Structure 1
């Protein structure tokens, strides 16, 4: 992979002031997603959702953010659950609502993750989750509401796992 423009989800026309809050976990996918979004001109900020008190993902995400040179905030999923009064929701289901709530508080329009899938908008304005070109994680995201899909950028949908690993290594 070269350092030239990397395509992804059609979000190549945004200006530098556009911001995106990226859900971080410390893995190669989120690192590559940050790199692609930065190359596309987004101002990127990271967020990690703490699902339990001793969540090892928080430290990994903070370390990844530091290596990427971006700020990373920690969101507490249990606090969000009580705010949303969704006691029946599983903790993992709170990641997207947590990212959206934080983005709203920070004045950020878009959220992004390192999932390998694509979001496309039809002529009728309906957002549709599509499988990635190679490695498909769309089944995990299929239940997301239209409001979430309309604000979600998935920059890895056009890349192979090998390309993602190479981008993360750089």
Structure 2
């Protein structure tokens, strides 16, 4: 992969003051997301969304991965959201996104990001659409297709633009390791 195609080369960069709250899960992919966003000029913070009490060990490992990346990380204990009906969570019915958005709002953070392999594009009509990842074998766009417009407008999915080989190469370049 040529350096000319790496994020942070001046294409699609954001102002330094823009912040993003990254959903942390302790995987290599998540670490690559953090580094891509940092290269693009974002101030990055992490959040672990814990939907059940039995996920505390996983949440601790994901938080440790965030600390290894040198970013602040909070644990969102969102057990109360896990069993909420769709009308409470909104279209998309995903408690993790609801928890991330609520935390981002409380922290004054504009964007949220995940390690999903998909892309969000803004059409000429002003409507955001979830599009397949460049690497069809990793595509997770169907899982995000029902998210509401207000969520899609704030969602960054850096991995959707890369193949699995690209992500592995970036992980090596960034010296990112997964813990989970």
Say whether the fold is shared (TM-score over 0.5).
Answer: yes
Which secondary structure does the structure 2 equivalent of 1:156 belong to? helix
- Kindly indicate whether the alpha-carbon contact (under 8 Å) linking 1:7 and 1:158 is maintained by their aligned counterparts in 2: no
For 1:87 and 1:154, the matched residues in 2 are separated by: 25
TM-score (norm 2): 0.82
Cα deviation, residue 5, structure 1 = 6.8
- Kindly indicate whether the alpha-carbon contact (under 8 Å) linking 1:50 and 1:58 is maintained by their aligned counterparts in 2: yes
Cα deviation, residue 3, structure 1 = 6.8
For 1:25 and 1:71, the matched residues in 2 are separated by: 14
- Kindly indicate whether the alpha-carbon contact (under 8 Å) linking 2:7 and 2:39 is maintained by their aligned counterparts in 1: no
For 2:68 and 2:157, the matched residues in 1 are separated by: 21
Match of 1:162 among 145, 161, 165: 165
Partner of 1:31: 31
| 1:95 has 2:92 as partner | no
Report the number of matched residues. 164
Which secondary structure does the structure 2 equivalent of 1:32 belong to? helix
Inter-CA distance 69–3: structure 2 relative to 1 (3 Å threshold): farther
Cα deviation, residue 13, structure 1 = 3.1
| 1:108 has 2:109 as partner | yes
Structure 1 residues without counterparts, runs of 5 or longer: none
Partner of 2:17: 17
Map 1:23-102; keep pairs closer than 5 Å.
23-55=23-55, 56-79=57-80, 81=81, 87-88=84-85, 93-102=94-103
- Kindly indicate whether the alpha-carbon contact (under 8 Å) linking 1:6 and 1:40 is maintained by their aligned counterparts in 2: no
1:114-161 superposed Cα distances (whole Å, 9 cap, x missing partner): 111000001111000000111211011111111100000000111111
TM-score (norm 1): 0.87
Structure 2 residues without counterparts, runs of 5 or longer: 176-180
- Kindly indicate whether the alpha-carbon contact (under 8 Å) linking 1:18 and 1:42 is maintained by their aligned counterparts in 2: yes
Inter-CA distance 151–5: structure 2 relative to 1 (3 Å threshold): same
Give the CA RMSD over aligned residues.
2.4
Which secondary structure does the structure 2 equivalent of 1:129 belong to? strand
Cα deviation, residue 52, structure 1 = 1.1
Which secondary structure does the structure 2 equivalent of 1:44 belong to? strand
- Kindly indicate whether the alpha-carbon contact (under 8 Å) linking 2:111 and 2:155 is maintained by their aligned counterparts in 1: yes
**Which runs of structure 1 show a deviation greater than 3 angstroms over 4 or more consecutive aligned residues?**
1-5
